[in-house]
């Protein structure tokens, strides 16, 4: 087994295609395919399943990938320490629900990274996609929330996918509204106060189950309801339609629109926001650094970092 072969596997997973990976690696497609077959034969496993949609990791391949990434990380550190060479193009990915504080921490990570080359990915996506991304190693960690309503379902799925949820902080529900909304100025609002305003939420695709909703109280009926797929659109509708959404109440001063206001919502609920990680994979130095920025940002907004259970 050669280090180069491990690089090949990671590139194929990244692009989901031998052809595309070969172009980025500046080798021919047959050469790349042969290298993968040789590695599979040597290891005695099938790493990829060849489908019409591209290369898909098998169960054995998923486990193999976790070891490959850890090996390459250690090789990088050794070469940098003893040979004084630049590390190879560093990859790092995070998948998250639509939280500005998670984006802010990612921005800080990129600004602090002093290497000449890197390839970072931040996916604001649906809840089930976050879980799939982390379980298939498309992302090193994911950010989502648990509460009394969704916890049993989400934890069951995490266990099946060999993932662990680690709490970051506990948030009390707020509503986000435009600063021109008539409710602004109140110390808090009740659900009855919101009945006549359009309710905005993030759509969850085919798995649009209440348990996968990014908003608590997802089973409540709303006279006016609008689903959107991205945070910018949601904020535009908050302003343009005088709508509201239910969230953690954490607004990033640097990244959020100054026209958005968070108002406490009077409900007996809490949100435990945290991050998920594969049980098969240790956090990379970049993962640890991102987590540090994430926690600093949370503390900066007056929250206490939760102790891991």
pLDDT tens digit sequence for 90-141: 678 899 998 888 999 999 999 988 776 777 889 998 899 999 889 887 889 9
- Measured between alpha carbons, how far apart are the two ends of the chain, in Å? 39
pLDDT in tens, 147-182: 998 999 999 999 999 899 999 999 999 999 998 999
Helix then strand then coil, % of the chain, to nearest 5 = 40, 25, 35
The Cα 55–Cα 16 span in angstroms is: 5
The model's pTM is 0.73
Q: Which residues are within 8 A (CB) of 165 and not within 5 positions of it... i.e. 6 or more apart? A: 146, 154, 155, 158, 274, 275, 276
196 SS3 class: coil
Q: CA triplet 215, 217, 221: central angle to 5 degrees?
A: 110
Residue 233 phi/psi, 5° resolution?
A: -65, -45
Tokens linked to 215: 């908003």
DSSP output for 198-251? PEEEE--TT---GGG-SSSSTTS--SSEEEESSHHHHHHHHHHH--EEEE----
Specify the pLDDT at position 194: 93
Tokens linked to 269: 């609920």
The pLDDT mean for the chain works out to 85
Which is higher by pLDDT, 206 or 192?
Answer: 192
Specify the pLDDT at position 207: 60
Residue % of the chain over a pLDDT of 70: 91
Options 1.10.10.10, 3.40.50.920, 3.40.50.460, 3.60.15.10; CATH for 1-88 is 1.10.10.10
Specify the pLDDT at position 283: 84
The Cα 40–Cα 192 span in angstroms is: 61
Which is higher by pLDDT, 91 or 200?
Answer: 200
pLDDT, mean of residues 225-236: 86
pLDDT in tens, 44-88: 999 888 777 667 788 888 778 878 877 877 777 777 667 666 555
pLDDT, mean of residues 22-31: 89
Q: Are 282 and 198 in contact (CB under 8 A)?
A: no
The Cα 150–Cα 131 span in angstroms is: 14
HSE-up (13 A, CA, CB side) for residue 38: 12
Tokens linked to 259: 């026209």
> What is 170-272's CATH number?
3.40.190.10
Cβ neighbours of 141 (radius 10 Å): 25
Specify the pLDDT at position 21: 87
- pLDDT grade for 89, boundaries at 50, 70 and 90: low
94 SS3 class: strand
Domain boundaries, the chain: 1-88, 170-272
Which is higher by pLDDT, 248 or 109?
Answer: 109
Cβ neighbours of 83 (radius 10 Å): 8
In this structure, the dihedral spanned by the alpha carbons of residues 221, 222, 223 and 225, taken in order and rounded to 10 degrees, is -130
Q: Are 207 and 218 in contact (CB under 8 A)?
A: no
In this structure, the dihedral spanned by the alpha carbons of residues 214, 108, 114 and 117, taken in order and rounded to 10 degrees, is 30
β strands within the chain, DSSP E: 48-51, 54-57, 90-96, 118-124, 141-146, 163-171, 174-178, 199-202, 225-228, 244-247, 260-264, 271-278
Residue 253 pLDDT greater than 70, yes or no: no
Specify the pLDDT at position 80: 67
């Amino acid at each position: 087994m050669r280090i180069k072969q491990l690089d090949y596997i990671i590139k194929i997973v990244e692009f989901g295609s031998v052809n595309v990976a070969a172009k980025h690696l500046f080798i021919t497609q047959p050469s790349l395919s042969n290298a993968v077959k040789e590695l599979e034969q040597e290891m005695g496993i099938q790493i990829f399943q060849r489908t019409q949609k591209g290369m898909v990791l098998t169960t054995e391949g998923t486990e193999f990938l976790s070891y490959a990434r850890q090996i390459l990380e250690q090789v990088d550190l050794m070469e940098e320490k003893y040979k004084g060479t630049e590390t190879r193009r560093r990859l790092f990915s995070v998948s998250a629900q639509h939280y500005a504080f998670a984006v802010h921490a990612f921005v800080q990570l990129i600004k602090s990274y002093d290497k000449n080359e890197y390839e970072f990915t931040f996916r604001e996506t649906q809840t089930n996609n976050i879980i799939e991304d982390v379980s298939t190693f498309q992302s090193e960690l994911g950010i989502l929330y648990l509460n009394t309503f969704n916890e049993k379902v989400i934890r069951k799925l995490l266990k099946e996918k060999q993932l662990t949820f680690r709490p970051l902080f506990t948030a009390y529900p707020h509503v986000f509204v435009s600063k021109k909304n008539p409710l602004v100025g109140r110390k808090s609002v009740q659900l009855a106060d919101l009945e006549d305003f359009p309710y905005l939420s993030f759509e969850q695709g085919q798995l649009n189950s209440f348990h996968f909703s990014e908003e608590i109280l997802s089973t409540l009926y709303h006279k006016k309801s609008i689903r959107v797929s991205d945070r910018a659109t949601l904020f535009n509708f908050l302003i343009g339609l005088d709508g509201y959404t239910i969230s953690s109440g954490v607004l990033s001063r640097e990244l959020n629109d100054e026209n958005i206001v968070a108002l406490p919502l009077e409900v007996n609920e809490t949100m435990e926001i945290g991050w998920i990680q594969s049980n098969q994979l240790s956090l990379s130095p970049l993962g640890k650094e991102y987590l540090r920025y994430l926690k600093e940002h949370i503390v900066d907004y007056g929250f206490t970092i939760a102790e891991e259970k």
